[in-house]
């Protein structure tokens, strides 16, 4: 239902609605998906990024889902807010080393024992990183991280901007050594979550998974 609602929104409708309404919609999605921690505060809500995220129908990319070894590899997040926290919740399901660089890091990230550095971003911060997420609400900074990663040969994900992504994060259901990942080729995160939740419900209620 929610996937159809958001997919039906045209650009001018999204821009016309008020910030409180959009933020309320995000909070509803948080209840549908425990890992959906993307609700912005009204003070830092970026309507341009939200509109850009919703307008993905013309994306000329083909993302192939793969399972990649991240054990003991460093995954760097540029940005220390709720968008970063959303990614961290998913990443912490796997044995990987997570670093955060941001001018300000929220307490929820710090409380999870994540290695974080509060400072302005510099290109040298990328050294030694296996994957990078650019997840600030500053469009120009995200783009700078993207270009720096491209120069250094590091795979990068610019959150909510698929054209500037070397990879995208699927909606994941994980139980022990079984992982199920659902992707929509970066077209609709809401549909991915809906399908993932249906699979989760099936595995937990209608099917006996013997591990």
Yes or no: say if 110 and 127 are a contact pair by the CB < 8 Å rule. Answer: no
Yes or no: say if 157 and 84 are a contact pair by the CB < 8 Å rule. Answer: no
Q: Mapping DSSP to helix (H, G, I), strand (E, B) and coil, where does residue 33 land?
A: coil
> 123 is written with which tokens?
């290109």
74-164 belongs to which homologous superfamily? Answer: NAD(P)-binding Rossmann-like Domain (3.40.50.720)
Yes or no: say if 165 and 157 are a contact pair by the CB < 8 Å rule. Answer: yes
Q: Mapping DSSP to helix (H, G, I), strand (E, B) and coil, where does residue 27 land?
A: helix
Angle in degrees, 0-180, between the axes of helices 19-32 and 47-54, rounded to the nearest 10 = 60
- The residue written with tokens 């990649």 in the block is 68
Taking the domains of the chain in order of start, what are their residue ranges? 2-56+170-206, 74-164
CA distances from 191 to 42, 197, 203 (A): 25, 10, 18
Angle in degrees, 0-180, between the axes of helices 19-32 and 189-201, rounded to the nearest 10 = 30
**Mean pLDDT (10-residue bins), the chain, 211 residues:** 42 43 50 45 46 53 89 96 93 92 96 96 98 96 98 96 92 87 86 90 78 59
In angstroms, rounded to a whole number, what is the distance separating the alpha carbons of residues 155 and 149? Answer: 7
**Which residue spans within 6-110 are E strands per DSSP?**
74-78, 97-102
Residue 163's nearest CA partner among 86, 67, 61 is: 61
For residue 169, what pLDDT is reported? 86
Predicted TM-score (pTM) of this structure: 0.71
Yes or no: say if 101 and 78 are a contact pair by the CB < 8 Å rule. Answer: yes
Q: Mapping DSSP to helix (H, G, I), strand (E, B) and coil, where does residue 157 land?
A: strand
Q: Mapping DSSP to helix (H, G, I), strand (E, B) and coil, where does residue 41 land?
A: coil
């Amino acid at each position: 239902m929610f996937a159809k609602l958001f997919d039906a929104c045209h650009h001018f409708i999204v821009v016309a609605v008020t910030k409180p309404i959009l933020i309320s919609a995000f909070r509803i999605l948080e209840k549908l998906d425990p890992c959906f921690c993307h609700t912005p505060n009204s003070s830092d809500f970026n309507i341009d990024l939200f509109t850009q995220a919703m307008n993905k129908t013309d994306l000329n990319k083909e993302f192939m889902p793969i399972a990649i070894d991240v054990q003991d590899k460093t995954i760097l997040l540029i940005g220390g807010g709720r968008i970063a926290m959303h990614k961290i919740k998913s990443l912490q399901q796997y044995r990987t080393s997570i670093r955060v660089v941001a001018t300000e890091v929220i307490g929820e990230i710090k409380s999870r024992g994540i290695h974080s550095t509060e400072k302005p971003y510099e290109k040298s911060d990328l050294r030694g990183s296996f994957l990078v997420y650019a997840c600030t609400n500053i469009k120009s900074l995200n783009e700078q991280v993207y270009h720096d990663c491209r120069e250094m040969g590091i795979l990068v994900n610019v959150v909510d901007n698929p054209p500037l992504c070397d990879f995208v994060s699927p909606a994941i259901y994980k139980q022990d050594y079984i992982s199920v990942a659902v992707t929509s080729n970066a077209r609709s995160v809401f549909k991915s979550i809906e399908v993932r939740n249906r699979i989760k419900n099936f595995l937990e209620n209608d099917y006996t998974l013997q591990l």
